[in-house]
Amino acid sequence: MSAPARTIGPAILLVLFSATAQAAPAPAKHEANGVGIAFFILIVLVSLGITYWSARRTRTADDFYRADGKITGFQNGLAIAGDFMSAATLLGITGLVYMTGFDAIIYILAPMIGMSLVVFLVAEPFRELGRFTITDVASFRLQERPIKIYSAIASLFIVILYLVAQMVGAGALIQLIFGLPYMAAVFIIGSLMMIYVVFGGMMATTWVQIIKAVILLFALTFMAFAVLARFHFDLGGMYAQVAQTHALGFGVFKPGGLLKDPVSAISLSMALVFGFVGLPHVLMRLYTVPNAHEARRSIVYSAVFFGYVSILIFFIIGLGAVVLLGDKPLYRDASGALIGGSNMVAIHLAQEVGGEAFLGFISAVAFATILAVVAGLTIAGASAISHDLYAGALHRGKSSEKAEVRVSKISAIGIGLVAMGLAVLFEKQNIAFMASLVFAISASASFPLLILTVYWRRLTTRGAVIGGSIGLFTSVGLIIAGPAVWVNIMGASQPLFPYAYPGIVSIPVGFAAMILISLLDRSADVAASQAKFDRYLSS
């Protein structure tokens, strides 16, 4: 097995967004098998059934945006974990562990730390003071209109970029797994996600995610068990064989396979951890449970589920694949490279340990993970438009619930069509920069706003909007000036900003700008903001 550097970049991207197959070495199509197609059809039928059931229960804005708060902490924990146990986890992290070994741990630990920050710092105030979207708390404490506009734009940036990256990766993956044409794959995924959101709202979106998470938990448990069984449950023996087989030798168990310099390691870690806290589609799920207690429980459950899956993938599945796939011709193309690149490691391993039936099952699970995640993103984006922009900024909270839900459904269709169009447009493009952008924007523009809203009395509207915008543009600017865009897309020989991950600069800039501008603000807004902080958030 070799570990060419050119395949590492795409693997990183898939870890975050499962959006890399187009950038990987020319993917060879996988032969679709009968079991896979049967599960594929079953998943579509079950999810449509859930949508029908949810549609009959979705009447009010509360139903549409937050499933009327009827999801339990355990169920919500599964749904939040499902957001992170995506194709990125199943395919991307498995491939990353297979290729680079130890360094993949950064991607595994970061979401768990981010989940903890949500529990410790923001879950309760958000659940208690907010209503439907993550902008509710800030817009309640500060001036509603500018904050709603700013936060909705930041959320839409995150959602659209995340969605397009997911769709591009999903199209390529479905093409790879089922042999479907790229356009058809994008059309199927886009259509289904619009149907879930428009007809079933948050109820359908959440239950599709829950069911997918349960299936994935069982599938990965079985896969890990089957891998260990091949080594007679001797983990030490398995690791010894991994060191003998892997091109990095014992180096696969040490840092340095992926992150070559300290600044990149720290910057990436910052973006992943703090970016998680600002992700609108994750925080929105805090409103689907009945109270703050259940909100906290749901995040703790999600950390446990995600941690369990991560341990299986990191310690057993990814490394076991090194030996089990080895140099077997079945999984290699004519040039000796792994068919489909490192993103297909989990799929090949399924075939190796479970035969054609398990291969078909895992392929269908990968499809389900993509569907569930894009549906969650779509409802978050639609809510930003309808609840924040339409109802909050345009009608100042005076619009009817019926009109708001109608706008949300129209927005979901609009977002779906835009995402499908962009996914087609970007099919052949290198979209690596989108991966960094999502977490960089979330960490640099949303995270400072959320934390300062809840913990800093002196924050003002002006500081939040102008400072947040500076954080947002700094992160976008540094990504463009960095190697992902300036060198890989624009073709320059040297980047203007040397690092691929801007978090180490853009996150402090976002915080500093908000603090500085708030301190310089002498408007009447200062007293009003502080009064609301004292009334609702001060201890």
Partner 1 sequence: MTAEPADETVRLTALGLRRRLGVWFAALILCLYFGFTLTIAFYPQFLSIGAPFSVGFGLIILIMAAVVILNAVYMNFADENRAPISAHPHETGE
239 binds partner 1 (CB under 8 A): yes
Chain positions 306 to 335 lying near partner 1, rule: CB under 8 A, are 307, 310-311, 314-315
**Phi, psi dihedral angles at 335 (to 5 degrees):** -85, -5
**Exposure of 513 in the CB half-sphere (CA atoms within 13 A):** 22
Candidate residues 46, 117, 153, 528; the one interacting with partner 1 per rule CB under 8 A: 117
Candidate residues 147, 299, 350, 484; the one interacting with partner 1 per rule CB under 8 A: 299
Instruction: Give me the helices (H) in 18-143, please.
Output: 34-55, 61-66, 73-84, 87, 94-100, 105-117, 123-129, 135-141
Helices 144-178, 461-481: inter-axial angle, 10-degree rounding: 30
Q: Are 8 and 333 in contact (CB under 8 A)?
A: no
105 binds partner 1 (CB under 8 A): yes
Instruction: Give me the helices (H) in 426-460, please.
Output: 432-441, 447-455
Q: Among the candidate windows 160-168, 181-189, 298-306, 361-369, which touches partner 1 by CB under 8 A? A: 298-306
Chain positions 446 to 475 lying near partner 1, rule: CB under 8 A, are 455
Two tokens, residue 492: 């320059």
Q: Which of 351, 358, 421 is nearest to 163 (CA)?
A: 421
In this complex, which beta carbon is closest to partner 1, that of residue 29 or of residue 254?
254
254 binds partner 1 (CB under 8 A): yes
Candidate residues 243, 413, 418, 489; the one interacting with partner 1 per rule CB under 8 A: 243
528 binds partner 1 (CB under 8 A): no
Q: Which of 31, 124, 61, 57 is nearest to 383 (CA)?
A: 61
CB 235 → partner 1: shortest distance, Å? Answer: 5
* Length of the chain measured in residues: 539
Whole-number Å distance between alpha carbons of 369 and 88: 9
222 binds partner 1 (CB under 8 A): no
Q: Among the candidate windows 17-25, 171-179, 258-266, 478-486, which touches partner 1 by CB under 8 A? A: 258-266
Q: Among the candidate windows 80-88, 120-128, 211-219, 510-518, which touches partner 1 by CB under 8 A? A: 120-128
Residue 378, H or E segment: helix 345-383
CB 101 → partner 1: shortest distance, Å? Answer: 8
All residues at 6 or more sequence positions from 451 whose CB lies less than 8 Å from its CB, including other chains: 121, 122, 277
Candidate residues 31, 42, 120, 336; the one interacting with partner 1 per rule CB under 8 A: 120
CB 455 → partner 1: shortest distance, Å? Answer: 8
**C-alpha angle 505-168-36 in degrees, rounded to nearest 5:** 130
In this complex, which beta carbon is closest to partner 1, that of residue 103 or of residue 388?
103
DSSP at 494: S
286 binds partner 1 (CB under 8 A): no
Whole-number Å distance between alpha carbons of 467 and 526: 15
CB 110 → partner 1: shortest distance, Å? Answer: 8
Burial call 502-529: b when 16+ CB within 10 Å, e when fewer: bbbbbbebbbebbbebbeebeeebbeeb
Q: Among the candidate windows 50-58, 79-87, 290-298, 473-481, which touches partner 1 by CB under 8 A? A: 290-298
Whole-number Å distance between alpha carbons of 517 and 76: 38
Chain positions 179 to 208 lying near partner 1, rule: CB under 8 A, are none
CB 389 → partner 1: shortest distance, Å? Answer: 18
| Chain contacts with partner 1 (rule: CB under 8 A) | 102-103, 105-106, 109-110, 112-113, 115-117, 119-121, 124-125, 128-129, 131, 140, 235-236, 239, 243, 250, 253-256, 259, 261-263, 265-266, 269, 273, 292-293, 296-297, 299-300, 303-304, 307, 310-311, 314-315, 455, 535-539
